[in-house]
Structure 1
Amino acid sequence: MNIPLRRVALVCGALLFSLLANITYLQTLGVRRFGADPRDQRALLARFAHPRGDILTYDGRTIVRSRPSRRGPYEYRRVYTNGEMYAPVTGHIALHQATGVEQAENGVLSGDDPKVRMRRLINDGDAGGADVRLTIRERVQWAAYQGLRSTGRPGAAVAVDPATGAILALASYPSYDPGAYSTLNADRLVRVDQRLSHDPSRPLLNRALERSYPPGSAFTVVTAAAALASGEYTPVSRVVAPGRLPLPGGSRHLSNPGGRPCGDGTVALSRAFRGSCDTAFAGLGLHLGQDALRAQAEAFGFGADDLAVPLRAVPSTFPAGLDRAGTALTATGRHLVRATPLMVAMLSAAVANEGVLMRPYLVQDVRLPDGSIINRADASPYRVTLAAPDARQLAAMMAAVTRPGGAGEAIAIPGVEVAAGSAPAALPGVEPAAAGSLRDQAVLTAFAPADVPEVAVGVVLEQAPPDDPSAAAIARAILQAALS
């Protein structure tokens, strides 16, 4: 009897050991695999079992909140106020996905963040999330979105506080209603996602952060900064500005509007900037060289892949391996250089803050319902773009652009001195082979007031000529809203 009992005991021991090993595996290494299984509803039930924290504007207006669902197994659903206007910022949360601030700040909004959970349990035992207050100003966001919407063209607009980096507005058009994703019906959610994902106008695309464009004449801020930083130029330095500039390496030419020279063909750098003289800046690019232009562009943040606000922005790029013709065109913002609308705003923000570019951010603070703040944004420098004396000279050149006779006169605001990047009066004559992948769009960068800057803006309109007055109207409306 001892031998059979011993064998049975060994088999039972082996089975018990296998059972314990399997349980250990399931609770440790296998938990992620089972948690990702779409048939597992526990995570979804937990996600919507408690109210998430609210999302508020800087002014204190609640734009996203949780409400009882009153149906199905999920207890709460998200409600978005003025959803299309704020969608590029808030994003949305659905059964199996999240975007925007809903994703980036999910830990504090859901209450899973250890700091939030501990404070809430100590204070009132509630397992809900904390509220997130944005840097977005309601009036400024409204001006940006309504301005874009009124044109009927795709585009984006961004407004930044130059002194802190706080983003006052971040708008993209066309947009979508995040509330469509708050449905708790899985079949309906699939239909919503398919409809919006296949919409040719791409409403889900956050054009302010996720798309880059040829910056056009806005890039002359970088070229002018490189010229001043080189020590070879001052605002009164004379530069060659013919009506038609031969491009090296072939028979191609770059022409000013109408083929006219700027001045008598040789003008001061400040006047070339004020009049958006493309041949002058192309010649500057040839003289400075691609390395100097690239170094200055990188000082502004081109090529950086570390920019998150906390939503990630695609990098703005300066091309590598340019030939001399490409260098000339790139100095005017053409050819292969690309910038996001956020970067377009950052160009002015850096100059306005005497060369110090502050790190842009969207979240002002995180607070519990009792008002106690557990996270607060701290303004911090992101990059030093150029020396303060050079930045002040460049700011003065930008202020002259919006004065009577300047290329950016349309952006001027009565009683407020506005500084702007060089803005073209019309599309310059560039042969298609020289233009590369240039597409029609209007791009503007500006800040105000010029003497004590409070706001910097970047506006991009797709499918629009560079001199489209709508871009100037949007920039002006945003500046006025921020200063009122």
Structure 2
Amino acid sequence: MNTPLRRLSLVVALLFALLLGSATWVQFVDAGDLRDDPRNSRTLLAELGRDRGPITAATGEVLAESVPAEGPIAYRRTYPGAPSAATWAHVTGFYSVVYGATGVEDALGSLLAGTADELFYRRLSDLVTGREPSGASVELTLQPEVQEAAAAALGDQRGAVVALEPSTGRVLAMVSSPSYDPGELASLDTEQVRQAYARLLEDDTDPLVNRAVAGDLYPPGSVFKLVTAAAALETGDYTPQSVLPGPAELPLPLTTISLPNVSGEACGPGDEVSLADALRISCNTAFGSLGLSLPDGAVADEAAELGFGRALQVPLRVTPSTYPEDLDEPQRALAAIGQGSVRVTPLQVAMVSAAVANDGVLMAPQMVASVNAEDLSVVDAPEPRELGRAMSEDTAAALTEMMELVVQDGTGTAAQISGVDVAGKSGTAEVGDTDGDGSPEDPHAWFTAFAPAQDPQVAVAVVVENGGDAGSEASGGRTAAPIARQVVEAVIGR
């Protein structure tokens, strides 16, 4: 063979080797990623050919299920919900042949589809017996009456509600508003699905975003004073009776700006106030002063103990809440009252209250009660899991008493329930100019609480964006506290 032919044969052999290698890579090495890619409609179509497992609430109500369909696709996904699919949309998510899956449909997709490793022997049995394969069912921890109460209380206002069981971390309710109908996105009419999805994307209220755990995080305002108070008590240098400066305005170091109280007045006689009273009336200058006087890193460390900065899956992915680093003195004062660059999810705020309610122990939030195969055998039943001790029992007990005062005779009286001791904290968070028109937006209204105070069954967090129906007149105590009260009442049966 002459030299040109030998070279040509080598090039052809190399090309065949590359082709074989590429095909091998796609079919074996990269197959899993391609199969799991949410844009892969072939996988979705194949999964729609089997009976995808249902998603149910804690009391058995079906929130999502597959029903037989006519045509080439054997099943279609439906969302019965209660009282409507929109009440549960941000929990279940949607399962779309066009846009893939979100929510629990995505987070536990392989279990629902029956393709998870945990169901291997079940699939093997189906193959041997010729039985039609089906997915596992997922039972959530969410209580329908609590979920419905939260959705009804929040109404059409933008915001979110989260309710936790403090001793276990189980999620009892998770509501985000505005919502949407997941059934529209699960239709087998692809053009209808595209139109519905485009309409939701164009909606400037962002109905697809689960505000409870994701999206643009919120400034917490004065509900963050619970973290600052815990940090102070944990040092051992402060008690609820410790006296703090509480002037009408607190001059901030390194700047000509002062931090004012909302009332425009001092928080106590002689410009002084106790730590307990400062929390009760939500005194900005006292907590700003506390932020300046606490050891560097004390508040940041307490925030981290309470879950800030921690990546969580419940199984929905939770955007970590943030406490800023490398703060100067004015920024430390602002951060101590939940302003500046502090950002949170409503779930994180509920976790703060839950840790106080649980004697200082922070439990991992979890919304899955059990996963069951078609024969009702248990595939998984997550046990309660501690994330760690966020504060001492003594600190938790002191904070509980201080939060009870907030509801008894402070900024949270609208959360009172006859015959029940409620511990709570209000917050009204300044937002600033978010739409670029040169004027600040109406504040976010917050409230967090747990009850009964000495035997906690529920911890709740509520945020109402930009004051909701009250607009600029909103406050956490007036706007969000009544919503929290109705959620607590649904849990304790009032």
* Map of 1:4 onto structure 2: none
* Map of 1:476 onto structure 2: 485
C-alpha distance after superposition, 1:399-439 (max 9, x if no partner) = 11111x21111111111100012556x989xxxxxxx9886
Residue 425 (structure 2) pairs with residue 421 (structure 1): yes
**Separation in 2, partners of 1:84, 1:368:** 27
Indicate conservation of the 8 Å contact 1:217/1:276, yes or no.
yes
What stretches of structure 1 move > 4 A for 4+ residues in a row? 17-26, 29-42, 436-439
C-alpha distance after superposition, 1:248-275 (max 9, x if no partner) = 1222112223321112122221111111
Which stretch shows the higher mean deviation, 188-197 or 19-28? 19-28
* Map of 2:137 onto structure 1: 131
| One-letter amino acid matched to 2:445 | A
Indicate conservation of the 8 Å contact 1:208/1:342, yes or no.
yes
**Separation in 2, partners of 1:399, 1:444:** 13
Which stretch shows the higher mean deviation, 174-183 or 361-370? 361-370
* Map of 2:237 onto structure 1: 232
- Taking structure 2 as the reference length, the TM-score comes to 0.87
- When residues 43 and 244 of structure 1 are mapped into structure 2, their CA distance, relative to the original with a 3 A threshold, is closer
Residue 191 (structure 2) pairs with residue 187 (structure 1): yes
Indicate conservation of the 8 Å contact 1:348/1:445, yes or no.
yes
Displacement of 1:338 after TM fit? 0.7
Displacement of 1:121 after TM fit? 4.8
- When residues 443 and 42 of structure 1 are mapped into structure 2, their CA distance, relative to the original with a 3 A threshold, is closer
Displacement of 1:122 after TM fit? 3.5
Residue 170 (structure 2) pairs with residue 166 (structure 1): yes
**Separation in 1, partners of 2:427, 2:21:** 70
Which stretch shows the higher mean deviation, 346-355 or 469-478? 469-478
Specify which structure has the bigger relative contact order, considering alpha-carbon pairs within 8 angstroms and separated by 6 or more residues.
1
**Separation in 2, partners of 1:314, 1:38:** 21
**Separation in 1, partners of 2:147, 2:250:** 42
Which of 306, 311, 316 is the equivalent residue of 1:311? 316
Indicate conservation of the 8 Å contact 1:160/1:456, yes or no.
yes
**Separation in 2, partners of 1:290, 1:217:** 20
C-alpha distance after superposition, 1:33-77 (max 9, x if no partner) = 875899986423311111100100001111111011213x21111
Indicate conservation of the 8 Å contact 2:403/2:424, yes or no.
yes
Which of 390, 394, 400 is the equivalent residue of 2:399? 394
* Map of 2:4 onto structure 1: none
- When residues 29 and 42 of structure 1 are mapped into structure 2, their CA distance, relative to the original with a 3 A threshold, is same
Counterparts of 1:241-280 in structure 2, within 5 Å, are: 241-264=246-269, 265-280=271-286
Residue 161 (structure 2) pairs with residue 157 (structure 1): yes
For the aligned residue pairs, the C-alpha RMSD in angstroms reads: 2.7
**Separation in 1, partners of 2:185, 2:279:** 47
**Separation in 2, partners of 1:328, 1:437:** 21
- Taking structure 1 as the reference length, the TM-score comes to 0.89
**Separation in 2, partners of 1:38, 1:331:** 42
Residue 180 (structure 2) pairs with residue 176 (structure 1): yes
Structure 1 unaligned spans of 5+: 1-9, 429-435
Identity %: 42
| One-letter amino acid matched to 1:323 | D
Indicate conservation of the 8 Å contact 2:228/2:336, yes or no.
yes
SS at the partner of 2:317?
coil
| One-letter amino acid matched to 1:59 | T
* Map of 1:372 onto structure 2: 377
| One-letter amino acid matched to 1:361 | Q
Structure 2 unaligned spans of 5+: 1-8, 432-438, 468-473
* Map of 1:433 onto structure 2: none
Which of 67, 78, 85 is the equivalent residue of 2:87? 85
- When residues 34 and 206 of structure 1 are mapped into structure 2, their CA distance, relative to the original with a 3 A threshold, is closer
Displacement of 1:167 after TM fit? 0.4
Indicate conservation of the 8 Å contact 1:214/1:438, yes or no.
no
Residue 47 (structure 2) pairs with residue 47 (structure 1): yes
| One-letter amino acid matched to 2:180 | Y
Residue 320 (structure 2) pairs with residue 342 (structure 1): no
* Map of 2:59 onto structure 1: 59
Displacement of 1:318 after TM fit? 0.7
Indicate conservation of the 8 Å contact 2:339/2:430, yes or no.
no
* Map of 2:435 onto structure 1: none
Indicate conservation of the 8 Å contact 1:444/1:459, yes or no.
yes
SS at the partner of 2:66?
strand
Which stretch shows the higher mean deviation, 241-250 or 450-459? 241-250
